[in-house]
């Protein structure tokens, strides 16, 4: 171990392959089901939405999948990202723990999302697709896909959750600067959107609603595919460049994590940092590594949700997937971590939680912003509201080490910067932010509508 602050790999150590955790799990994740037949879906069921290359990655059991050279060439613009040792944060907390963070905010979109956006745009371009529809919560995914669409000459249409559309105008401007069209969801442009607005004219929206709108648009045109920024296994796969680079950087640091912390909404950044380490633990069998998934208490799919088959969207246009869910019609309260406002968790993340391979905990909004400010004042980087959850989790682990007198190594994924979220920080300092209440009654109603296969 050294006193170095930043560990940066050379460009030639950008991973050549994505890592597929499915190959190392003791049991496979339950398959997606067709909502009409209740049978496992096949490639033809997904072909109207995704290129065949991504469908193959979704179901692959191969441990590694080669990253196409054109994708790696684009990755070179910001990858490898650095592993940082948070010396000043350690001093501020007076902890014997060693705290590291992988900083993904240096990408063109300011988050980890381009790791999969570039790959998805590449495969769609190869398949002859000229237009992609998608959804976005906080706008990080929409920004990333807009960036990737510009590189590959693909038209991008983004349905942005209404509350984030209003909260984050600069994210909209960023998407438009890359050439994408950004629409507040729910909108009058789709049947799903119109139905929801007819029932709830002032709906703040949700990722489940925005997914329904984007899927509906994609299904109507042969030149249009759909892209998802989290949840699906091929998305988690693409993010594993983060964890693979972190593993290599820890060799430079002559250290290795005892605890990994990641924020979880749909599961992509968490999987990106954690899955390569988890795979190594499963293969070696000798590591005591703990992996902690942190989510908002106001949208607690892992900690409060039911593990069951459910729709991935509110309009019930998607296949059924087995995941921790709050119910597909559940609309989370409008807290600022828009990227974590999804009713379900990635099926693969849900599966490893059911296997007891990861832990999960929830935090309120205010304590996460407090942690983010503590981090910013020590390390000089303002985290996105989503990343504040990982910061809070890491700080709590460091304080535990202090209490127990243990010098453990803690790693978290600082998955994006908060430069487009300053209104949230302004509201926090003005005392205008509140802890949003989790709606027990709404969850109960939403879970009552789970498809019948859930009990099978």
Distances 361 to 105, 264, 270, 357, 413 between C-alpha atoms, Å: 24, 10, 13, 14, 16
CATH architecture of 6-14+67-110+234-455: 3-Layer(aba) Sandwich (3.40)
∠ CA 268-82-393, rounded to 5° = 50
Ranges of each domain in the chain: 6-14+67-110+234-455
Predicted model pTM: 0.94
Q: pLDDT digit string (tens) for 25-57?
A: 999 999 999 888 889 998 888 988 999 999 999
Q: Which two tokens stand for residue 373?
A: 């400010």
Q: pLDDT digit string (tens) for 233-272?
A: 999 999 999 999 999 999 999 999 999 999 999 999 999 9
Q: For strands 409-414 and 290-296, give the pairing.
A: unpaired
Residue 390 Ramachandran class (φ > 0 left, ψ -120 to 50 alpha, else beta): alpha
Average confidence score pLDDT of the chain = 93
pLDDT exceeds 50 at position 456: no
Q: How far apart are CA 176 and CA 426, in angstroms?
A: 25
What per-residue confidence (pLDDT) applies to 19?
Answer: 98
Q: Which two tokens stand for residue 49?
A: 């939405």
∠ CA 63-68-70, rounded to 5° = 155
Residue 330 pLDDT grade (very low, low, confident, very high; cuts 50, 70, 90): confident
What per-residue confidence (pLDDT) applies to 454?
Answer: 45
């Amino acid at each position: 171990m050294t006193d170095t602050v930043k560990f940066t790999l050379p460009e030639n150590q950008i991973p050549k392959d994505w890592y597929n955790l499915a190959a190392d799990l003791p049991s496979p994740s339950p398959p997606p089901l067709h909502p009409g037949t209740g049978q496992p879906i096949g490639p033809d069921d997904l072909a109207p939405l995704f290129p065949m290359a991504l469908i193959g990655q979704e179901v692959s059991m191969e441990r590694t999948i080669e990253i196409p050279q054109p994708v790696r060439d684009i990755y070179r613009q910001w990858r490898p990202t650095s592993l940082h040792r948070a010396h000043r944060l350690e001093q501020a907390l007076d902890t014997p723990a060693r705290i590291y963070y992988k900083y993904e905010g240096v990408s063109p979109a300011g988050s980890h999302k381009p790791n999969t956006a570039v790959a998805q745009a590449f495969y769609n371009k190869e398949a002859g697709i000229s237009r992609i529809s998608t959804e976005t919560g906080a706008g990080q995914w929409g920004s990333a896909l807009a960036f990737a669409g510009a590189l590959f000459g693909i038209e991008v249409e983004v349905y942005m959750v209404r509350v984030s559309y209003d909260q984050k105008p600069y994210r909209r401007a960023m998407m438009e600067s890359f050439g994408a069209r950004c629409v507040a969801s729910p909108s009058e442009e789709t049947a799903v959107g119109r139905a929801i607005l007819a029932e709830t004219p002032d709906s703040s929206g949700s990722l489940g609603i925005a997914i329904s709108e984007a899927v509906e648009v994609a299904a109507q045109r042969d030149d249009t595919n759909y892209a998802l920024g989290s949840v699906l296994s091929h998305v988690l796969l693409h993010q594993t460049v983060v964890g693979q680079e972190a593993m290599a950087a820890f060799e430079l640091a002559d250290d290795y994590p005892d605890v990994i912390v990641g924020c979880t909404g749909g599961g992509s950044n968490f999987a990106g940092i954690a899955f390569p380490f988890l795979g190594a633990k499963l293969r070696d069998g000798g590591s005591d590594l703990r992996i902690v998934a942190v989510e908002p208490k106001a949208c607690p799919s892992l900690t409060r949700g039911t593990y069951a088959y459910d729709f991935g969207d509110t309009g019930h246009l998607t296949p059924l997937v087995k995941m921790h869910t709050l119910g597909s019609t559940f609309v989370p309260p409008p807290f600022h971590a828009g990227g974590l406002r999804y009713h379900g968790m990635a099926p693969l993340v849900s599966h490893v939680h059911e296997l007891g391979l990861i832990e999960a905990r929830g935090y309120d909004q205010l304590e996460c912003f407090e942690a983010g400010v503590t981090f910013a004042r020590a390390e000089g980087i303002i985290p996105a509201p989503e990343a504040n959850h990982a910061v809070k989790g890491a700080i709590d682990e460091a304080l535990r080490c202090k209490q127990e007198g243990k010098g453990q190594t803690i790693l978290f994924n600082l998955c994006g910067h908060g430069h487009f979220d300053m209104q949230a920080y302004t509201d926090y300092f003005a005392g205008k932010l509140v802890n949003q209440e989790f709606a027990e009654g709404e969850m109960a109603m939403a879970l009552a509508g789970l498809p019948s296969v859930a009990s099978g």
